[in-house]
Structure 1
């Protein structure tokens, strides 16, 4: 099976990904304070463009200034963003990697203090310290329609600016994920009431984005296998969403899991799972393969060539990597070359509280992204000193949510 990871992947829209390894989305926090692209962000992606991955998916790009996930997100809400975006996509131009923009909206987990009254599917707080103090405003149907239009606008601007594709973020407890969750979404209108209603916003968004970018541009969706919360979005409903996406014009479904309350995407929900090294969500991915013909990307916990090849042999089309590429930016190239898997830090100490442990993981990796953005090599450590430096960089705005994980796969 040694050639499996070198194989190309043909997407339904007609685009071919040059190999089976992708860099999954990681929140960079490298935009300027006005949300524009910076030289540091371009430098980071120029580094990854030579790292061997066939596909690079950006971190969360938000659709408006009232929709920040965290400080220094890239904001794409008008054609004023196009010149900077062209410079960003240009940093990858000429490399074999394709570059997709991940587009998201935080909903009720918007950053303090940029949005003191967040929005959500219903007026229900997120049960995590830092968010449970703020009761979100329930979106009206008209509000929901505006958000769909904003996703489409951002996607169109991305393609105009040279990005090869877009990914709609519907995982990790952000707005589209909130609409899918019975815990967050208690609506009784067409965007709630039952599982079909709860997935309507995602399907409407996919349709609008597809119309905006055309039939020959890749459109992906990042989806939770489950939220890992009692009474929340579970694997049964997720499989139904996968089935629905099969006929919706989607080119790639990336499978992840978890949210702010249970950051399974960080691995904190899988430490005692003997099969975690095969991929945190590999079991679900195998079941998803049985119900859809859409290409699948599996992200989370895949570190060894053997595990990646096994996943491909079981029907997964693309292997997603995120945190390893914060410490070893050419990790895919080393895997494809048949080299031994690079050694990775064990991570910062854990405290036994999942939201905090997830945030400590974020901080350790975020610091490395900022080093690469400054032209430095990553540090081969993930201790408390690294975490402290990352917290210092995030500053006062981020400290209001310092117990919270961010979006890493």
Structure 2
């Protein structure tokens, strides 16, 4: 048996293999952020395909702070019955499911929400400033409210039957914004030193633990680096990893980058060392180093394409789990293939529309795959040759509708 196929246990939960689906945006919910049968169909397809665990796409803890149209939001028990159905999909096929809880902070398209908030009122780089507006700095009472929103969402997830949650602390979302000195200019207990900047993450973790049971899995996704000059330092990153490990986190997924420097989408892949490219995974070198500093389980996502590369990463001891994402959009049963010893079938090139401004951002690495997810959710076969331009134009049309509807609702509430 290859290492990839070996089961592993975290608390009372058994993962039947070492394959975990990394979070990818499904964009299948309605305007109110409610899960539906499309989510059930999509995750059932992946469960049937042999996944050991699936981490959902971004699930918002505040419906008024969405990162894009179509995201699920969990604020109350309003959708508990549908969430129970979703959780049961995984149980039927022995697939563990972790809900990724997130708040986007400043990382929201203009007009999608009434306003955007962040640790500090830091504008985006000129390239993205036309898409993302300058946020308002959070008040302390709002910070405390968001912390409790994460905890309440986690409580509801456990009640629904999910095995755990993942706190999204990477890719430039709110937790990541607090960690980075580029986006956190605060002078109070939430900013300044790394000890203060990581307080938000640690307080969320503490609140989640207080509202869930001992055997509920709590994981976090963290950047190995944000790949921006003046951002969080390597030494500070190690401090964050060690602190959350000491606090008792069960699993850390290692990633990197933000919307302004999207290494998580492979955009930086051509700048990696040849030795790293040969080993496939984007963040495996960092995992090997941080493995010496933390005791919790580690997951590396991004770049894996061969059974040999995945097993080599596991055999090295750098991580206990292999994260795969984009291959699942075009090959829903890729997990069974990998366990059987067959490599990923489709090598998808960078998704480009031909519009330079759009292609410089990582947005198509989200939208194109979300379009495939809707196809899979409807019980159809995905299309590896789907036109990126067509996908973007559909997204733009739907985004404009969402923004206009949001403005109408804002006027009504006023």
| TM-score normalised by length of structure 1 | 0.92
2:76 paired residue number: 78
> Residue 250 of structure 2 aligns with which residue?
251
Distance apart, 1:10 and its partner CA: 2.5
The 5-angstrom pairing of residues 371-386 of structure 1 reads 371-382=375-386, 385-386=387-388
The 8 Å contact of residues 21 and 321 in structure 1, kept in 2 or not, is answered as yes
- Give the one of 78, 83, 98 matched to 1:100: 98
Larger relative helix fraction = 2
Match in the other structure for 1:278:
280
SS at match of 1:173: coil
Per the alignment, do residues 177 and 39 of structure 1 end up closer, same or farther by CA in structure 2, a change over 3 Å counting?
same
**How far did residue 237 of structure 1 move?**
1.5
Question: 2:337 touches 2:343 (CA, 8 Å); kept in 1?
Answer: yes
C-alpha displacement at 1:114, in angstroms? 2.7
1:5 alignment counterpart? 4
Counterpart of 1:332 in structure 2 is 335
Q: Which moved more, 1:389-398 or 1:67-76?
A: 389-398
Aligned to 2:31: 33
Distance 1:34 1:377, change over 3 A: same
Q: Post-superposition shift, 1:359?
A: 1.8
SS across alignment from 2:106: helix
Q: Match of 1:67?
A: 65
Map Cα deviations across residues 234-258 of structure 1 (whole Å, 9 max, x no partner): 3322111110011212110000010
Partner SS, residue 169 of structure 1: strand
Decide whether aligned partners of structure 1 residues 151 and 328 sit closer, same or farther in structure 2, where only a CA change above 3 A counts: same
Alpha-carbon distance in structure 1 between the residues aligned to 2:392 and 2:131 = 24
Query: 2:331 aligned with 1:362, yes or no?
Result: no
Q: CA deviation at 1:314?
A: 2.0
**CA pair 190-270 structure 1, distance change in 2 beyond 3 A:** same
Alignment equivalent of 2:55, drawn from 54, 57, 74: 57
The corresponding residue for 1:223 is: 222
Cα distance in 1, alignment partners of residues 114 and 359 from structure 2: 21
Aligned partners of 1:218, 1:181: CA distance in 2, in Å? 26
| 2:348/2:384 contact within 8 Å kept | yes
* TM-score, structure 2 normalization: 0.91
Contact kept, 8 Å, 1:67 with 1:107, in 2: the verdict is yes
Aligned partners of 1:164 and 1:366: how far apart in 2? Answer: 24
Give the corresponding residue for 1:407. none
C-alpha deviation, 1:351, in angstroms: 6.9
SS state of the match for residue 108, structure 1?
Answer: coil
Q: Assess, with a 3 A threshold, how the Cα gap between structure 1 residues 160 and 180 changes in structure 2: closer, same or farther.
A: same
Residue 388 in structure 1 maps to residue 387 in structure 2? no
Shift in alpha-carbon separation, 1:114–1:353, aligned structure 2, 3 A: closer
Stretch deviating more after TM superposition (261-270 or 130-139): 130-139
Equivalent position of 2:211 in the other structure: 212
Contact map agreement 2:152 2:211 (CA 8 A) in 1: yes
Hey, what does 2:321 align to over in structure 1? 318
Is residue 62–residue 105 contact of structure 1 (8 Å, CA) maintained in 2?
yes
CA shift for structure 1 position 183: 0.2
Give the 3 Å change call, closer, same or farther, for CA 59–9 of structure 1 in structure 2. same
Shift of 1:110: 2.4
CA deviation digits over 1:44-64, x for unaligned, max 9? 011011121111100000011
Distance 2:130 2:167 in 1: 23
CA contact under 8 A between 1:117 and 1:135: conserved in structure 2? no
Unaligned runs of 5+ in 1: 402-409
CA displacement, residues 140-193 of structure 1 (integer Å, 9 cap, x when unaligned): 111111000000000000111111111000000000000000100011111111
Give structure 2 stretches of 5+ with no counterpart: 404-414
Deviation of 1:103 after TM superposition, in Å, equals 0.2
1:405 equivalent in structure 2: none
- In the alignment, which residue of structure 2 is the partner of 1:20? 18
What is the CA–CA distance in structure 1 between the aligned matches of 2:330 and 2:71, rounded to whole Å? 21
* Cα distance in 2 for residues equivalent to 1:132 and 1:234: 27
Whole-angstrom distance in 1 between the partners of 2:147 and 2:194: 19
How many angstroms apart in 2 are the aligned matches of 1:238 and 1:131? 30
Rounded to whole Å, the distance in 2 between the matches of 1:268 and 1:362 is 13
* CA distance in 2 between partners of 1:61 and 1:18 (Å): 25
Tell me the distance in 1 between the aligned counterparts of 2:14 and 2:84. 22
Query: Which whole-Å deviations, capped at 9, do the CAs of 1:259-288 have from their partners, x for residues lacking one?
Result: 100110100011242223521111111111
1:367–1:130 distance in 2 versus 1, CA, 3 Å: farther
Aligned equivalent of 2:293: 291
